[in-house]
Structure formats: C-alpha cells, structure tokens
Structure 1
Amino acid sequence: MQRDAEQSRIILDILESVHRDGECSQRSRASEVGIALGLVNAYLKFCIQKGYLKAKKMPARSYQYMLTPKGFMEKSRLALSRLSHSLDFLRATRAEYASLFEEAQSRDWKNVVIVSALPLAEICTLCALERNIRVVGIVDRNASEGRMLGMPVHRSFEQIGEPFDGAILADIHTPADSIRWCMSQIGAEQLLMPAFLRPHAPRMEATQ
C-alpha cells in the first residue's frame, strides 16, 4: 500500500512538472520530483503508455512532453486523492491530540511544553485551549530561537524559564531521537505522545 502511495505521488509530481514546463531537461525534472534520472525516464514512458502524456521530438535529441485530456483528468484525480489523504491525516491527528490533552487534564497538568516547532504544534495549541491547559513554550533542538504561534521557541527545557507539568511530543520527522532526548531531560513520566508516535519510543529498560 505504501508502495502504491509513493507511485501515485511520483506520477502526480511528473504530470504537474510537465504541466509547468514540458521542455525542461530530464535531469531538472528528476531533481524537481526527487527521484533518480533513470526513474524519470521510466515514469515518463509509463505515463505515455497510459495515455497521460504525449511526446514530440525536438532538436538536440530532446523531447517536448504535453498532457493529454486523459492526463489532465488523472492529474486532477491524484491531486484530489492527495488532498483527501492530507485532510484525513489532519482529522486523525487532531483526534489523537485531543485525547492526549484529555489525559494531561486528568493528570492535573496546567502548564505544558510542546516538543517540536513543526506544524503539529499548531494542532497541539488548539487542543490545549479546549482543555484550558496553558502552553508555556516550544522546545525544538533544531529550530532557531524566536517565536511561533505567539510563543517562545527554545532549544532546551532549561531555557523555558518557568515551571511546567509535562511535555507533549509533536515531532513527526525524528520522533525516536526526540523521545530519547526528552526522557533523558525530563523523564518518561513527564512526556505524553500520541499513539502513532509510540512505536518509536525506546524500551524503558534501554533508557534506565
């Protein structure tokens, strides 16, 4: 299933790339789509066979690629599918964090820190507001210090500057590293994470 999703992503990116510029080099297209040069050629041939693209030979042994009506329809279908999956992910993620902040409230947490300045931090702040829990700051070891969503962004827990009851994990890119770091800094009992990030947590005995 993951392989099918990746194939759909590549096909959509190829079709969108051709729509923007049908004459760019295969090397440029490979860089744009994020795949190897040989794979670009293979996917272009696949799209031509499917009737999504047509190719016109140009001087200097190059080709101009154009979307067919069928290609426009497929591009639209794949774009809508991507959007639908993105919305489904956001809905599921919001539900996970709503449950997480309910757990924080049951622990009588009043002030929390969000770990990671990535987009999930915004979902966390909304869920915190619903539970009347205050977010005192964001901790992200890889971010530049500043402000995000009206809150200070720090690179360590020590820089928070005020007491907090616990931390909420919002790192979807390097969760395992963030979990280990948080456990070493504040302990496992002060860290809450959504179910979809728990498989990245190290075994408790490995952290003792």
Structure 2
Amino acid sequence: MADRKLIHIVDDEEAIRKSASFLLRTAGYAVETWASGTMFLADVKHAEHGCVLLDIRMPEMDGLDVQRTLAERGVTMPVVIMTGHGDVGIAVRAMKAGAVDFLEKPFERATLLYAIETAFARIAEADSAIGRAKEAEVRLAALTPRERDVLNGLARGLPNKTIAYDLGISARTVEVHRANLMTKLEVRSLSDALRIAFAAGIATEE
C-alpha cells in the first residue's frame, strides 16, 4: 500500500470539493473527489484505501445511506461526516454508525485537519490490530493440536482439572502441555499467553 495519506471527498457541491481539496493538498494529503455517493460506491471496490470525507445531504443517495452501504460491503475506510447547519442530529446518528467525527460547514482548516488525523489514527490502530493477529497466528502455528486445545481451555477461563476432564487426559498432562505451549509461545506468564490467544481469536473457537 502506498505511504501517502489519501482522502476521498464525496460531496455534490463543487465549491466544497474544491475548497476542501485545496486545504488538504496544501497540508500534504492526497485527494480524490467524487460528485455523488453513487459514483463513489460504483468505484470503491477498486479505490485506494484512505479515509472518506462524506457529505450528509446529497441527491440520489445521502451520506447515511452511503455509510451504511460501505459497512455492508465490508469497506473499512474511516468516515468523517460533513454537515450543514441543522443537520447535527443526523451527524450524531452517523457517528453512532461508526463515523469518526463530523464537521459543520463552513469548517475551519484546523478543525478539518484534526478530524482527518483522527481518521488516519483509526486506520493505524486497525493495521496494528491486524499485525498483532498475524503475529499471534504465526506463534500459535508452532503448537500441537493438543497444546492448542489446552490454550483454548485456558482462554475460556477453565481450570486445569476441567480442561483435563474435557480432553480425557490427566491434570498432570495438562500441566505439561501448558508448560510446553508457554515455551513455544516464548512467554513467561499465563496472561501473556492469553494475550496471544485473544489476538488470534482462539477464544472464539469451539
């Protein structure tokens, strides 16, 4: 993925697209503009990942509908809502649906840049979580199926005796597996092992 920070501006008003583009480009961002929500959605599958500066009031399809469709399609780009005076209630609904922030037009340069940086911080957090999950899966791949079963039981909060009963083995064998899995995961405490398990989603396994 490119290192540049890209903002997709989705607004039917050309004046807003031009002014917001100018402010963002002079601040060092890359910008792509879209004259309607339907145009953006038509190409979003192939669009470069970034954040979305989305107007609420647009013909054909309003911002809430665009936001909902993005979520339904699994598009994870963070959304910053632009709203006119009197649309704050709608903007709050958008935030409840996952928008990062909302800007009331006309907005100041500093306010816009703060909202955009907040959006990119969310992308960084998501990327970090994905990275932790991938690293955890690599570590868990070193475990035997039985060691993974024991870790799954520990992640569910079960004591050794219960894990032993569920797996049809002795408590002593569970202790051996537990010691081995901690060695393979390169951790010294149960809490560290559980952090890896949770990052990989092992606690959701049956």
Q: TM-score, normalised by structure 2?
A: 0.30
Q: TM-score, normalised by structure 1?
A: 0.30
